Structure 1
Amino acid sequence: MKLPNVVQELIKAQNNFDSVAYANLFSETSVVYDEGKTHTGRKEIQKWIAEANEKYKSVMEAVDYKETGTKGILSAKVSGTFEGSPAVLKFNFEMNEGLIKSLKITG
């Protein structure tokens, strides 16, 4: 499966629990929606993913990827210390100039 570089790097950063590298894949004004909360801007995204890494210890493995224009949907098997692990989650991306503009994570 062919993944855009930014998505490959996101998976790598997640699996290395590297919140700085993860956040740097987003634009300064990016928005992330996860678990009913919105996180706006690179600093908030870094704080969110650092806390999620500490809490859930999640690693991900790409299962499928579909892309239409600037939008992509990654289906990934996510394993960690959360109830129902492992689970296949959908990462709904919108990209702009090689960075992630928005990300919505759904079950």
Structure 2
Amino acid sequence: MLPSTITSYLAQPTLSLYADDAVVTDDGKTYRGRAEIAVWLATAASEYTYTTELVGTRQVDANTWVAVNHLEGNFPGGSVDLQYTFTLDDDLITRLVIAP
């Protein structure tokens, strides 16, 4: 079972779920701290239209979980499975890596 922070993120990603010094890596780019993450959140999903389905989860260790989402949409390739690797501390995301 995923922690509530992660289920909240998967339902609606918001800046309030991140620690002040959080790091996000997505599409080969790294965003550090809330200011950079806020810009990423505002622009990351706006380029394409797609649907997301959670297809798997696993806990890696006491602070790390992986959620696998299947995306289909108008982006190059049309479909992809992405692994969202979350690291949490005090119920906040300290690290998120999104990769195929």
Among 63, 67, 70, the alignment partner of 1:70 is 63
C-alpha contact (below 8 Å) 2:26/2:97 kept by paired residues: yes
Which structure carries more helix by proportion? 1
**Aligned partners of 1:11, 1:80: CA distance in 2, in Å?**
17
5+ long unaligned stretches in structure 2: none
In the alignment, does 2:42 pair up with 1:50? yes
In the alignment, does 2:52 pair up with 1:60? yes
**Structure 1 stretches of 4+ moved >6 Å:** none
In the alignment, does 2:91 pair up with 1:98? yes
TM-score, normalization by structure 1: 0.83
Which structure carries more strand by proportion? 2
5+ long unaligned stretches in structure 1: 15-21
TM-score, normalization by structure 2: 0.88
Partner of 2:11: 12
- Number of paired residues? 99
**Aligned partners of 2:16, 2:71: CA distance in 1, in Å?**
21
C-alpha contact (below 8 Å) 1:55/1:81 kept by paired residues: no
